[in-house]
Structure 1
């Protein structure tokens, strides 16, 4: 078992690692987008977009409904690209998180301070039916993204 390390406290809550997330639902999707448009969203010249084909980048959307998490019960939308540090070899493949909206203030602050993630607080709804889940992301009160995915059931 990994040794627990204390990072510090935020809002009187002790932050320790590793962090165990005991219950969550997630969906991750990848989309092909123009590499030049993706590169224009990267800051400065510290990163480069990984092209999955000539002039084509991979845009990743991850939708997370954290139900039992030390940082709270919250929804999150990850928006990012496959990328690498500028000048790294072709064998280096990672991700660059462009935006990471969440719907709770604590996880926003913790994610920004502890992990350096570009989290912001906004409305994110996760609506479940027996057959599907719909995530809706709002920006300034306006619907910015709506994704519906089939609901996968596991036999417990």
Structure 2
């Protein structure tokens, strides 16, 4: 530790969803979502091409929620975002080595899936299938450059496995080609149970905003039980 990723491309979209539904989805973790607006939580959908790192090369998709740190007693709201962490609810990958490492080292909810990433054009696309069923087809259009995004504030990621919730220190130590835009994402849901779960969250057609990073370097620290 830390495990290092030397080069990855990251695409993500942030969606406002029903806070009550999001709480129900992650109730097993013992964590609470951050309400950015009354009754609204944030669901993050992301796909990553890991091109060089300690866990080799692989593709990954993530479904996560912004959450309040354990023991937090402050009121939720936009100001609470500064302290928010991210709870990883579902994390399919396409290689078995990173699946076993992610589960064992950090408790990440990794599963094997077919992840088709198409990153060579201006539009970034992810087609995700699990057990032969379409989960989603997601398209992100990069936006305007993000000044000052060469390094980003460290963020706590949270996982839950085998009845234990863990905190994982995570940091983007270098971010080249970072871009952001309002909206910027299109998504088509399939017939997989995760697609149904996303639909029941009240996932809107328009994202709050989307981001892309063409060259990112990251570190993942040792997991600690919360």
What TM-score do the two structures reach when normalised by structure 2?
Answer: 0.56
Q: How many equivalent pairs are there? A: 138
| Cα pair distance change 1:45/1:86, threshold 3 Å | farther
Unaligned runs of 5+ in 1: 1-16
> Matches of 1:29 and 1:107 in 2, distance apart?
23
- 1:102 correspondence with 2:93: yes
Q: Shift of residue 106 of structure 1?
A: 0.6
Relative to its length, the structure with more helix (as a share) is: 2
CA distance in 1: counterparts of 2:44 and 2:124, whole angstroms: 18
**Higher gyration radius (CA):** 1
Query: Cα distance 1:22–1:87, how it changes in 2: closer, same or farther (>3 A)?
Result: closer
CA drift of 1:19 comes to: 2.4
The higher relative CO (CA closer than 8 Å, separation ≥ 6) is in: 2
Task: Tell me the equivalent position of 1:10.
Answer: none
Q: State the TM-score, normalizing by the size of structure 1.
A: 0.80
User: 1:9-58 deviations in whole A, cap 9, x for unaligned?
Assistant: xxxxxxxx222212211112100000011001113372111111111000
What SS class does the counterpart of residue 5 from structure 2 fall into?
coil
Tell me how far apart the structure 1 counterparts of residues 130 and 26 of structure 2 sit (CA, whole Å): 21
Q: Does 1:24 align with 2:15?
A: no
Residues 1:89 and 2:80 are matched in the alignment: no
Q: CA RMSD in A?
A: 2.0
Unmatched tracts of structure 2, length 5 or more: 75-79, 144-175, 178-226
- More deviation in 136-145 or 98-107? 136-145
